[in-house]
């Protein structure tokens, strides 16, 4: 009889599974990837995979949730760094908001950029998976709240234009395979900030 798995091994297996599934789902799409492909990429037996995540939808939700934490943390770190360079009175709030679009541009330029993982998951699964739909909505609400906080701090009373510019840039960059939409969206935000003064 095999020895029971330790908590540390379970964590390692879980991370390996999420790493493999995230890479496959992002590159090929959720529906195009079968669980045998996830098994081969993760190196874990199917029985172990299904013990960690009983359904494919559970796995997709776990992938999106972990990606959300990492993605928004990286965005926040870049934004805060840009704001700190400007200082409290030296345009820090404006710099933070514009830095969000600079960060998006760097993301769009990464090799293998295929757009927003949450929009992609919604496009594939839509309302067919309530759990995935809830995760997509949670990510978008949190991202929009971040943008709203930065927009309000920079003096924009209504953040909806900033949110739409960000979402439009994300989708357009994926379709065109060009990071330029981030620069154009940033320029539009600068116009909004100048008009709000």
CA–CA separation, 21 and 106 (whole Å)? 23
Note the residue count of the chain.
197
d(CA 64, CA 49): 17
CATH 3.60.10.10 fits 56-196, yes or no: no
- pTM: predicted TM-score of the whole model, two decimal places: 0.92
Q: In this structure, what token pair is assigned to residue 83?
A: 């704001």
Q: How far apart are CA 9 and CA 111, in angstroms?
A: 31
Domain boundaries, the chain: 1-54, 56-196
Structure tokens at 45: 């037996």
172 is written with which tokens? 């357009």
Count of Cβ atoms closer than 10 Å to residue 147 Cβ: 25
Confidence label for 91 from pLDDT (cuts 50, 70 and 90): confident
pLDDT tens digits for range 69-83: 999 999 999 999 988
Burial class (CB in 10 A: 0-12, 13-18, 19+), 31: exposed
Spatial separation of the C-alpha atoms in residues 105 and 187, rounded to whole Å = 12
Average pLDDT for 160-164: 98
Domain covering 1-54, topology: Arc Repressor Mutant, subunit A (1.10.10)
Farthest-apart Cα atoms in the chain, separation: 71
Average pLDDT, integer, range 164-193: 98
Burial class (CB in 10 A: 0-12, 13-18, 19+), 117: buried
**CA separation (Å) from 55 to 33, 50, 61, 125, 129?**
14, 7, 10, 14, 11
pLDDT at 25: 98
23-77 pLDDT, tens digit per residue, is: 999 999 999 999 999 999 999 999 999 999 999 999 999 999 999 999 999 999 9
């Amino acid at each position: 009889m095999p020895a029971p798995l330790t908590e540390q091994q379970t964590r390692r297996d879980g991370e390996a599974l999420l790493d493999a599934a995230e890479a496959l789902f992002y590159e090929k799409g959720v529906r195009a990837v079968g669980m045998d492909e996830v098994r081969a990429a993760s190196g874990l037996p199917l029985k172990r995979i299904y013990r960690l995540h009983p359904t494919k939808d559970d796995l997709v939700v776990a992938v999106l949730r972990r990606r959300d934490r990492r993605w928004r943390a990286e965005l926040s770190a870049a934004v805060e760094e840009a704001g700190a360079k400007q200082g409290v009175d030296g345009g820090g709030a404006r710099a933070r908001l514009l830095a969000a679009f600079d960060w998006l541009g760097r993301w769009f330029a990464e090799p293998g950029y295929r757009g927003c993982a949450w929009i992609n998951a919604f496009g594939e699964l839509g309302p067919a998976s309530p759990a995935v739909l809830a995760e997509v909505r949670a990510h978008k609400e949190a991202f929009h709240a971040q943008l709203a906080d930065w927009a309000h701090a920079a003096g924009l009373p209504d953040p909806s234009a900033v949110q739409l510019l960000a979402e439009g840039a994300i989708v357009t960059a994926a379709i065109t395979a060009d990071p330029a939409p981030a620069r154009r969206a940033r320029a539009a935000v600068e116009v909004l900030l100048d008009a709000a003064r």
